Structure 1
Amino acid sequence: MSNGRFSGNPRTEWLSESGPDQRMQLLEAFWYDDPNGFRWNAPRGSIINGASIPKTLWSSVGSPYTGDYRMASIVHDVACSNPKISRDDADRMFYQACLAGGCTLFQAKILYAGVCIGAATGDWKLRSPYLTTNDEKAFKLPSEHSQAEVEVRAKFILMAKDLESTGDDFEEVRQVVIRHLEH
């Protein structure tokens, strides 16, 4: 259990809504036990959206509900909606849960960076309506990207390059992400 473990295979159903159908509801309780033995619960009926990674990074990090971070995204979505849990704690858990779900170390690092960017876009100087709304067009031609999107992608690429040289120490990974988010 070095990276923790999940309760099993999650059971969900799509919520049909106007616009993009990105949200799901848990049909059964689901949980993740982190390496410290803390249980991150996602109760039956929880609404999830597949992680808070900005759409502008989906082609680099992965879109919702794809890849080995799917189960981690469930408990992360629920943790982020809980006012008693800090976003920093939820993001740290997401990193560990990505590893438990089968992500490589590098995938866990860039996914962690992606959700941190997602949390920070509301506070960054790089604000863009595209990054903060439910814009339906996830993939754009290069000429269609806003300056803010280009800047976020550039920051992400530099961050990912720096993350390649970090080891498996989470605090080192966290410091690289913080350094890039502050500049």
Structure 2
Amino acid sequence: MQRTALVALLVGGIAAFAAAIYLWLDPRFRHPDGVGSFNGTPVVQFVEQGDGKGREMELLQDFSYTDPSGRTWTAKAGYKTDGASIPAVFWSLVGAPFEGDYRMAAVIHDWYCFTEEKPWQDVHRVFYYASLAGGVTEAKAKLLYTAVMWGGPKWGKAKSTCFSSCHAPTGDAMTRKPSGAVTFQPHVTPEEASELAKWVEETNPSLEAIDERAQKDRLHELGGLE
């Protein structure tokens, strides 16, 4: 009887410890030190689009990243992308997606922006940690995170039927699905991109501060999604 109680107590203690670790890491992740890791390097080939728009990159094998909380994010073989999940207006500041030091993170980010199978907030946040894991400096990773928080795609169920007219400003690319889900890619001007880059460089904001400013500046958009 005493042995059974001891085993139960031990199991309960282990479960409580595991739960505490999970809550400490998940889902906003944590830093410093824990940045996750990639499973190898992406095997890709470039494919000419044939429409005057340049090239796409095709993933020839599954490629994975494990974030600091232990979740694995996998981009599937056969996926083709042109890196559009990172707003082009920021490329002059951070480099093109497949040429810079964040290219591995861009593969993961592009896949989940394409599938929309995870909340957009988590997808953009994991991009930050994957960038660090790929060797990007913290300052640049924060600028990349700022870029996708402002100009990266967002998706979810529209809270109202007037989303396109009341929440998504003119210039944003938006699609509505029969299910009621909405996907939109906000428009960011070069002036806005430069201002944001200057803010990140001068203040070294926390990720929470970046989130708060994005929420404040784009409240009309984010307020229209569930």
Q: TM-score by structure 1 length?
A: 0.76
Consecutive unaligned residues in structure 1, runs of 5 or more: 133-148
The 1-side partners of 2:115 and 2:134 are apart by 22
Cα pair distance change 1:91/1:32, threshold 3 Å? same
1:90 corresponding residue in structure 2: 123
Please list the CA deviations of residues 35-77 of structure 1 after superposition, one character each: whole Å capped at 9, or x if unmatched: 1000001122122222522323321232231211100000111
Q: Which amino acid aligns with 1:35?
A: P
Cα pair distance change 1:22/1:113, threshold 3 Å? farther
2:45 maps to 1:13: yes
- What is the CA-CA distance between 1:3 and the residue it aligns to? 0.5
How many corresponding residue pairs?
161
SS of the aligned residue for 1:81 comes to: helix
1:153 corresponding residue in structure 2: 190
Please list the CA deviations of residues 139-173 of structure 1 after superposition, one character each: whole Å capped at 9, or x if unmatched: xxxxxxxxxx8x71222222223223135x42223
Q: Is the 8 A contact 2:124 2:145 kept in 1?
A: yes
The 2-side partners of 1:8 and 1:51 are apart by 23
The 2-side partners of 1:31 and 1:114 are apart by 23
Whichever of the two has the greater Rg, that structure is 2
Q: Which has the higher strand share?
A: 2
Q: Which amino acid aligns with 1:64?
A: P
Cα pair distance change 1:4/1:51, threshold 3 Å? farther
Q: TM-score by structure 2 length?
A: 0.63
Q: Which amino acid aligns with 1:105?
A: E
- Specify which of 33, 44, 61 is matched with residue 94 of structure 2: 61
Q: Is the 8 A contact 2:46 2:57 kept in 1?
A: yes
Identity across aligned pairs (percent)?
Answer: 35
Superposition RMSD on alpha carbons, in Å?
A: 2.4
1:48 corresponding residue in structure 2: 81
The 1-side partners of 2:139 and 2:217 are apart by 17
The 2-side partners of 1:46 and 1:97 are apart by 19
Runs of 4+ in 1 over 4 A off after TM superposition: none
Cα pair distance change 1:103/1:178, threshold 3 Å? farther
2:161 maps to 1:125: no
Q: Which amino acid aligns with 1:161?
A: K
SS of the aligned residue for 2:99 comes to: coil
- What is the CA-CA distance between 1:32 and the residue it aligns to? 0.3
- What is the CA-CA distance between 1:124 and the residue it aligns to? 5.0
